[in-house]
Amino acid sequence: MIRFGMCHPPAGLNLYVASGITELTKAVMPWLLTMLLFLVLITYIPQITMVLPNLIYQ
Protein backbone atom coordinates (compact mmCIF):
# COMPACT_ATOMS: atom_id res chain seq x y z
CA MET A 1 0.00 0.00 0.00
CA ILE A 2 2.86 2.39 0.77
CA ARG A 3 4.49 1.73 -2.60
CA PHE A 4 1.29 2.66 -4.39
CA GLY A 5 1.18 5.96 -2.53
CA MET A 6 4.78 6.73 -3.47
CA CYS A 7 4.04 6.48 -7.21
CA HIS A 8 1.00 8.76 -7.36
CA PRO A 9 0.39 12.39 -6.42
CA PRO A 10 1.00 14.00 -4.05
CA ALA A 11 3.90 11.66 -3.36
CA GLY A 12 4.84 11.35 -7.06
CA LEU A 13 7.92 13.37 -6.22
CA ASN A 14 9.76 10.06 -5.75
CA LEU A 15 9.43 9.34 -9.48
CA TYR A 16 10.88 12.75 -10.30
CA VAL A 17 13.82 12.13 -7.98
CA ALA A 18 14.38 8.67 -9.45
CA SER A 19 14.49 10.07 -12.98
CA GLY A 20 17.06 12.65 -11.85
CA ILE A 21 19.23 9.92 -10.39
CA THR A 22 19.08 8.05 -13.70
CA GLU A 23 20.28 11.12 -15.61
CA LEU A 24 23.03 11.72 -13.09
CA THR A 25 24.19 8.11 -13.37
CA LYS A 26 24.45 8.42 -17.15
CA ALA A 27 26.51 11.60 -16.82
CA VAL A 28 28.88 10.12 -14.22
CA MET A 29 29.36 6.73 -15.90
CA PRO A 30 32.65 7.61 -17.70
CA TRP A 31 34.20 8.69 -14.38
CA LEU A 32 32.96 5.56 -12.63
CA LEU A 33 34.39 3.32 -15.33
CA THR A 34 37.72 5.14 -15.18
CA MET A 35 37.92 4.69 -11.40
CA LEU A 36 36.99 1.02 -11.76
CA LEU A 37 39.76 0.55 -14.33
CA PHE A 38 42.33 2.10 -11.99
CA LEU A 39 41.06 -0.03 -9.12
CA VAL A 40 41.54 -3.18 -11.19
CA LEU A 41 45.03 -2.09 -12.26
CA ILE A 42 46.15 -1.30 -8.73
CA THR A 43 44.63 -4.50 -7.38
CA TYR A 44 46.08 -6.93 -9.91
CA ILE A 45 49.41 -5.29 -10.77
CA PRO A 46 51.20 -4.72 -7.44
CA GLN A 47 54.27 -3.17 -9.07
CA ILE A 48 52.22 -0.02 -9.71
CA THR A 49 51.62 0.59 -6.03
CA MET A 50 55.10 -0.48 -4.97
CA VAL A 51 57.07 2.01 -7.11
CA LEU A 52 57.45 4.65 -4.40
CA PRO A 53 58.23 2.25 -1.52
CA ASN A 54 60.83 0.50 -3.69
CA LEU A 55 62.48 3.83 -4.48
CA ILE A 56 62.61 4.86 -0.83
CA TYR A 57 63.91 1.59 0.61
CA GLN A 58 66.59 0.75 -1.94
| pLDDT bucket at 15, cuts 50 / 70 / 90 | low
Q: Tell me, what's the pLDDT at 21?
A: 78
Q: CA geometry: angle at 34 spanning 23 and 20, to 5°? A: 10
For the stretch 28-45, pLDDT in tens is: 889 999 999 999 999 999
- Per the model's pLDDT, the better-predicted residue between 9 and 21 turns out to be 21
Alpha helices (H) along 1-58: 2-7, 13-44, 46-49, 51-56
Q: Tell me, what's the pLDDT at 42?
A: 92
